[in-house]
Amino acid sequence: MSTVNAANAVTPRIAGAVQEVARDGKAEAVGGNLGEAWRGWVTWGPGNGTWDLTISWGVINPNSTVVITASEIDGNGNRFVGAAPFQVSSVAPGNGAVIFKINIGWNSPIPMRTDILVFN
């Protein structure tokens, strides 16, 4: 991550905060105000550059917290850390899907796997 030192740069500030909602028995069983947690993954054909990608999954809603990681995979689908940098950003959950940006900083297309955690 780089730091912006421009004179007109504005530091982001918190504009508002969500109050913790009442906990029910199901949420307490998972922990805190968390009612459900889901884990999955998607493998993708070779690609490079920056793209908006979508993962459709019925457990996702606009209030979900979605965490996505990405890594290069070999011919057998095994993840590994190669020379190509992967960056996931702009994760936006919606009704039944999440849209996010992926940047694969490599000169030629390579296959990848995205792992996804959904917290409701």
Q: What is the reported pLDDT for 83?
A: 96
- CB 115 within 8 Å of CB 59: no
pTM (two decimals):
0.73
Per the listing, tokens 């996931």 go with 88
Tens digits of residue pLDDT in 53-83: 899 899 999 999 999 999 999 999 899 999 9
- Separation of alpha carbons 57 and 39, rounded Å: 11
pLDDT of 25 reads 52
Q: pLDDT tens, 29-39?
A: 566 778 888 99
